[in-house]
Amino acid sequence: MKKLLVLTVFICALQILNAQTTGRLEGLRDSWGTTYDYVGEIKNKQPNGLGVAIYSNDNTLRYSGYFLNGMYNGKGVLLFKNGTFLSGEWKNGKLNGKGADLTASGDLYVGEFVDGKRNGSGTYTYDDKSFLFGKFKDDNFNGRCIFISATGRTVADNIYTNGKKNGDGYQYEIDSKTLYEGIWKDGTWQNSASASYNSFLKSPNFFAEKTDNQIIIGGIDKTNNNLLQDTGFYYNIKNNSRTFGYNEKGYLVLAKNVQQQNAVWLHF
């Protein structure tokens, strides 16, 4: 009986070793139909586990990460020859879950993906360092989004449809100390009107200040040295450091409930 048990364990070990090995496979196709060669862990004659997909076309360089039955699956990064990349959680060969996309124009999206497209919450930082945080659908801004200009002098809180401001919203311009509340269409201001939702830009504790050293736009605690409280933007001009998110006593913290909208934590 003991010998039979040892023999069974030995056979199982051989099966495991034979089932998962490392090696090279050629002429495979990714989820876009593009051909690549593979080096890494192999099981059932397919990429399974950690490996690298090596491309030989004019566009794609390589994918490094995890595979399942020949498809990108798990954590990984896809590099392109122009220096751009797609990185994050993959499923069935495409980004699904949290990830990042660096575009050819130098813009960076960090957020949620579904089947390779930006879907859900995310932050889009432009090459000029302006950024937009909010909701995305099929690669377009879609829903409520916060935009902050590269200089930090304009902060907007708007509803987007198909990538443009469409609907009611707010925009604060610190140079003129003016809050615009109204309607936008296809990205263009239409007229003044009452917005259908509250914004930190219209809070009773709203404060805005521009000096040679800093820009502050957001809610403050007037009873505690005017420290940022609730959603706010802070730009330290001297060291070129910017933060945006939910604050308590001047420090960024995670929001405690869904009512504290715009509960993003950014340092850029």
Q: Are 25 and 40 spatial neighbours (Cβ–Cβ below 8 Å)?
A: no
State the pLDDT confidence band at 150, using cuts at 50, 70 and 90: very high
Model confidence pLDDT, tens digit, residues 40-83: 999 999 999 999 999 999 999 999 999 999 999 999 999 999 99
Nearest to 94 by CA among 126, 69, 67, 116: 116
- Tokens 């109204």 locate to 182
Contact 99, 86 (CB under 8 A): yes
Residue 261 has pLDDT above 50, yes or no: no
Higher pLDDT, 172 or 251: 172
pLDDT score of 58:
94
Contact 192, 182 (CB under 8 A): yes
**Dihedral of alpha carbons 206, 195, 256, 131, sign:** negative
Q: What is the pLDDT of residue 251?
A: 85
Q: Report whether pLDDT(6) > 70.
A: no
> Which candidate, 208, 206, 211, places its Cα nearest to that of 177?
208
Query: Contacts by 120-123 with C-beta closer than 8 Å and gap 24+?
Result: 123/264, 123/266
pLDDT at 187 over 80: yes
Tally of residues, the chain: 268
| Distant-in-sequence, close-in-space partners of 61: CB < 8 Å, separation ≥ 6 | 55, 79, 80, 81
